[in-house]
Amino acid sequence: MPAKVFAVIDTNVVVSALFTRNPESATRRVLNLVLDGTITPLFNEEILSEYQEVLSRDKFPFKPENINAVILGIEHFGLNPGRKESKGKHLPDPKDVVFYEVALAKEESFLVTGNIKHFPKEPIVVTPSEFLRLIGKM
């Protein structure tokens, strides 16, 4: 595994990690690696706001203190590299653009998502399982 692993973690991965009861699921393992400092999460204020908004929805059973702990952990261990414009790239969901552009802002970073078909392949867009294999944690 490289000295530092940088990754943008898509909201669907965070939701799945908090929702699953399986501590060995790929999404839970990715979130645990973020929260123990093994993975450096990339974020900006828009991403943090989306995490907060989505995780706080009534349809999810997440406690406010758990939501805050996750967001604070991402801020603590993470890096805000800014955004790099994704010229000429079309993403089906305009809300995904920020995740993609933050990943573009840091060389050799990953974008970890459960919806890989929503993103171009570059930078490295991977599922949680693929990500864990690539960084030697699977």
Tens digits of per-residue pLDDT, 67-93? 999 999 999 999 999 999 987 777 878
User: What is the rounded CA–CA span in Å between residue 136 and residue 38?
Assistant: 12
Query: What pLDDT is attached to residue 90?
Result: 77
Query: What pLDDT is attached to residue 105?
Result: 96
Q: What percent of the chain stands above pLDDT 70?
A: 97
Query: What pLDDT is attached to residue 88?
Result: 72
What is the pTM (predicted TM-score) of this model?
A: 0.93
Note every long-range contact of 132-135, with CB atoms under 8 Å and residues 24 or more positions apart, other chains counting.
Answer: 132/26, 132/29, 132/30, 134/110, 135/1, 135/2, 135/5, 135/39
Cβ proximity of 70 and 28 under 8 Å: no
Q: What is the CATH number of domain 5-134?
A: 3.40.50
